[in-house]
Structure 1
């Protein structure tokens, strides 16, 4: 049988060289294709967006640009050259403005209780200092205005028809019964209207509310016109208000009338002289914006 088999030629068959050349060319062709290939960032972003749930992403972030972060593919990779080792770039991903509002921590929350208490104490001290400065400034203005009224009414003060004094945030102008009203009457004496003209001018120049309060002694009165000292004191206060409002510069909205009878005596009603002192009409000028708002300005009481 071995004698019947034809004898093969020595060496490789001729077609194998052509096949090897073709395989080498195909391998070089694919190597060149790989070397010219580039990563499509847009396609990579779409792929990452579509597969984010599969990789366990816990928080959604609006992506309006190429996905930021460290990629599994080395950014410096170049298939045509041998990559050199380099440090990993740190990339911080930006969140939206709405997420920033939720992530921002308020300054007060980051402060300790001691710091918050210290700031509150400093603010309280600053407020107290500001209030004290405002009160001191107001007291100086009141004292200056009282001196101006005293200068304008100097003649009446010397004749003891009028007295002027200050009490905390008030200027008190007292019209004594002497020379102003006849006994048991609410009509001003004719020669006292000149005094009221100068008094009205002084009141018009001084800001603040004006309380006109009538007072009497403890001797009861009962006439056809006045049933008691309450009506007499109120009527005298109204008479003074009408004299004040004769000056057009006095705003009627500033004025208020009160009648106290003998409920607020200056001195005890135990003598004729003391009763004459208690029979009076007071013009009380109340200063400060707190008067209009109904609040009380904290002013320390006068010493002495």
Structure 2
């Protein structure tokens, strides 16, 4: 039994039982320190908690913008809150902090400006590269002309080039009945040859339907827009009917009567305007998407 002592003894200092209590607390503290030193951290749980904290304390402010964001890169599709660092990627950057100015500067703004001689050499180099690419496009078009020599002679199709564009023009007289979007049986072999040829030519493929200005109104096609789009879809379906072409390269457009080739005042002009064009758009830089 612990004797707590008299009131006079208490006034002289701490009671004797405090020494036992202090020893007990010290032992408990040492015990928990040892337990903590022997414990292991759950890394997966720590990463989960850290990730949640990172998301919770991210960018909190939202701003309403009316203009198109003027980013520092034509390649990046999203903005990052990280610190910007120079990269070897070609960039488009504004020359001023004034966001109302539309002028952009190509390249690294910290780099010294090109001299007149260097700029002229760069321009000549770009012109040579573009000319070489256009020669490749012309060679692809020439192979198509050799392959479809008979169809071109009979007036079924036409093949033209413009820069990095190849246009294969399908005439209505051999491909579609009047007012219909169903390909004729006799033109299906030509579509098979086109499918094989286009598989070997790089670039995005746009199937564009066109009509003359004579109004059409039927249960199937209420307007020239519907007829032009229907014919473009029919050509696309036939090109994709068998393996060879990737559907991700294809794009279907119906222009109706808004892009005539000839005057609609004559029968010959209206016949020229009724057509489906297969436009192959090849990229201006190797490895990039077509324009």
TM-score band, normalised by the shorter chain? Answer: 0.5 to 0.7
Task: Choose which of 272, 280, 289 in structure 2 pairs with 1:285.
Answer: 280
Q: CA deviation at 1:183?
A: 0.3
The answer as to whether partners of 1:196 and 1:244 remain within 8 angstroms in 2 is: yes
Partner Cα separation in structure 1 for residue 156 and residue 237 of structure 2: 19
Match of 1:57 in 2: none
Deviations, residues 223-273 of structure 1 (Å, cap 9, x unaligned): 001110000000000000011112312111111000001100000101111
**Are 1:249 and 2:260 counterparts?**
no
Partner Cα separation in structure 2 for residue 240 and residue 280 of structure 1: 11
The normalised TM-score by structure 1 is 0.56
Q: 1:292 to 1:182 in 2, by over 3 A?
A: farther
- 1:81-120 alignment, distance < 5 Å: 119-120=114-115
The normalised TM-score by structure 2 is 0.59
Match of 1:99 in 2: none
Task: Choose which of 160, 167, 191 in structure 2 pairs with 1:165.
Answer: 160
Match of 1:259 in 2: 254
Match of 2:205 in 1: 210
Q: CA deviation at 1:118?
A: 7.9
Match of 1:136 in 2: 131
Q: 1:264 to 1:119 in 2, by over 3 A?
A: closer
Q: CA deviation at 1:167?
A: 1.5
Match of 1:65 in 2: none
**Are 1:152 and 2:153 counterparts?**
no
**Are 1:224 and 2:227 counterparts?**
no
Q: CA deviation at 1:193?
A: 0.5
Match of 1:182 in 2: 177
Q: CA deviation at 1:123?
A: 3.5
Deviations, residues 193-222 of structure 1 (Å, cap 9, x unaligned): 101000111111111111100000000000
Q: CA deviation at 1:130?
A: 1.9
Q: 1:218 to 1:164 in 2, by over 3 A?
A: same
Deviations, residues 53-94 of structure 1 (Å, cap 9, x unaligned): xxxxxxxxxxxxxxxxxxxxxxxxxxxxxxxxxxxxxxxxxx
Match of 2:19 in 1: none
Q: CA deviation at 1:292?
A: 8.1
Q: CA deviation at 1:192?
A: 0.8
**Other structure's SS at 2:178 match:** coil
Q: CA deviation at 1:291?
A: 10
Runs of 4+ in structure 1 displaced over 2 angstroms?
116-127, 289-296
Q: CA deviation at 1:290?
A: 5.3
Structure with greater Cα Rg: 1
Deviations, residues 5-60 of structure 1 (Å, cap 9, x unaligned): xxxxxxxxxxxxxxxxxxxxxxxxxxxxxxxxxxxxxxxxxxxxxxxxxxxxxxxx
**Other structure's SS at 1:197 match:** helix
Match of 1:268 in 2: 263
Matched residue count:
181
Q: 1:294 to 1:251 in 2, by over 3 A?
A: closer
Deviates further, 120-129 or 255-264: 120-129
The answer as to whether partners of 1:201 and 1:247 remain within 8 angstroms in 2 is: no
In structure 2, runs of 5+ residues without a counterpart are: 1-110
The answer as to whether partners of 1:174 and 1:283 remain within 8 angstroms in 2 is: yes
**Other structure's SS at 2:180 match:** coil
Q: 1:290 to 1:211 in 2, by over 3 A?
A: farther
RMSD: 2.1
